[in-house]
Chains A and B, each alone.
Chain A
Amino acid sequence: MIAQKDSFSTGGPGDPSHETFVLNLGPQHPAAHGVLRVLMTMDGEWIQRAEPVIGYIHRMHEKMGENRTWAKFLPNTSRIDYLSAMHYTHAFVGAVERAAKIEVPLRAEYARVITSELNRISSHMVWWGALLLDLGGFTPILYAFDDREKLLDLLEGLCGARLTYCYYRFGGLYNDVDDAFLKGTREFVQHMKPRLKMYRDLVTDNIILRKRLTDIGPISAELCRRYGATGPVIRGAGVAYDVRRAEPYSVYPKLDFKIPTYPQADSMARYLVRMDEMEQSLYIIEQALDQITEGPFMGKVPRVLKLPPGDTCYAVEAARGRFMVRIVSDGKDIPYRVKLRTPSFSNLSLYEEAAKGMILPDALAMMGSLDLVIPDIDR
């Protein structure tokens, strides 16, 4: 009897019986963290091509920027990346301050650093919990959200919002940081240090996690450069690029911190970068709490803000990487053009090239290690 060829032993891509199929991931898929759709051409378990399809939550923030005053656009910026709102408002406020030459008091700058770093920790905690959830571990997200709750309460007490903070103002802050906040932040830092150690013992050193992430989804420094990927993605490829050091802003030059980098360029490296960044953020907060002094929290700002004609850029290190605002003014009280350069957009754009030849569960682990926030991509 002639043996029949079974469907698992085709001769590979050259074989006429070899077939590929299209797998539509999303736009409503729990592993895609929002409305991201990826069209995957699969060769069995292997990805031949993975094309992200985006725009499902596009809100045209840049157009909204052109029909309201500078101040009225400010709350929009906290809704682009809802996990990193402090950094985004910081960039927009910074761009306007740079263009209008508004001086910001030192106390406000320190408060901005403290709240920004708190926001970075809360953002990384959501990423951490969600990544582990993707990989099948349910417990870590409960720990992460428990700790994050303390942090959100602090920020809520300060500015009223739990997620879409609009705490910074042109020239300073919405209100002064009170003693309760400063005391609570100090307590949070002390609370968080042993917790990060526990995270490491519980999850980071877990053999299953290591096996799921080590050597998975290599993204080299050159790939990052060609696609403009920044943040933990480039630092996980061994490049110490951090906007806080490359283009120093606020009072970061006065603060001491390390830029964590890992040369392995795999998903584990990006994981470790973020875990180390949380420690560094705590360290920055401690220094800022020691250095903050009494003083005004608001500078001198004209009642009707009209920026001089021309364009101005301002970049910050958001939780996902470099966020840059480019504003163009024509001398009126409303912007002529607001360009928002978001990190997730560039970080995802390399996905098609990076995911080629991976198996699906690994490609999803890599997607988790990119820490995507879809409204940040779609704007």
Chain B
Amino acid sequence: MSPSLEQLTAQFTRLIANAAPPAAVPAVGAGAPATPAATASTPVAVAAPAAAPASPILAVDYALKGYHLDVTVPAAQVVESAQILDRAGFCLDTITGVDWLAQNEMEVVYDYLHFASPLRIVVRTRLPRATPEVATIAGVFPGANWHERETHDFFGIQFVGHPNLKPFLLPEDADFHPLRKDYKP
């Protein structure tokens, strides 16, 4: 059972279209990046690369990027996107974060791979930096448990509903998040 890129694209298009209308969904991810509320005291200023892609679903050239499909979903749709990929037989490769300080946003990146096809899918979501919260996908992929704990360690991203979100790689009394761009040792 080999998934096709077209089928997945259609499923993600439907997913994102369904997510758009309700006002309850926070306006992150999907389209234009949130207002760049750049704090004055931040020395690290980055602009161009942080902008979320214009279209939330991008087919990318594998030879240039190392993956085939780049999907940006609202934070509320992360679990559903994991379920779509789970049904298609995908496997969670890794989860990580990127701190976009200038945009005042946190990005969570989910990498997926498939054992029977060369397809590589990237799902991302943007979270407000002040309250970086996203639902856990450990219920869909148990392997996410450790990846989310690590991402919580490094970025302070809260994975809501995670069974065991305690310090993992950092010391057990660590109250800092070293990969945040404003972290001072």
Contact = CB atoms under 8 A, between A and B. Distances in A.
A79 interface: no
A98 B64 contact: yes
B34 interface: no
A349 B168 contact: no
A324 B93 contact: yes
Contacts of B89: 225
Given A322-B93, A336-B98, A350-B143, A309 B49 contact: yes
A54 B49 contact: no
Contacts of A191: none
Contacts of A379: 169
A345 interface: yes
Q: How large is the interface on A (under 10, 10 to 19, 20 to 34, 35 or more residues)?
A: 35 or more
B54 interface: no
A146 to B, nearest CB: 36
Contacts of A341: 93-94, 111
A349 B146 contact: yes
Contacts of A60: 178
B49 A313 contact: no
| Among A63, A225, A379, residue most surrounded by chain B Cβ atoms (within 10 Å) | A225
A241 interface: yes
Given A54-B169, A314-B66, A339-B94, A62 B179 contact: yes
Contact of B115 (A55, A101, A227, A241): A241
Chain A interface helix/strand/loop/mixed: mixed
A239 interface: yes
A247 B118 contact: yes
Contacts of A75: none
B143 A324 contact: no
Nearest to B70: A311
Interface of B: 46, 48-50, 62-67, 89, 91-94, 96, 98-99, 109, 111, 113, 115-116, 118, 120, 122, 141-143, 145-146, 154, 167-171, 178-179
10 contacts: A63-B179, A226-B91, A226-B142, A228-B94, A241-B116, A311-B109, A324-B111, A341-B94, A349-B142, A378-B169
Given A226-B142, A228-B143, A326-B96, 10 more contacts: A228-B141, A313-B65, A313-B122, A322-B93, A329-B49, A330-B48, A330-B50, A336-B49, A339-B94, A346-B143
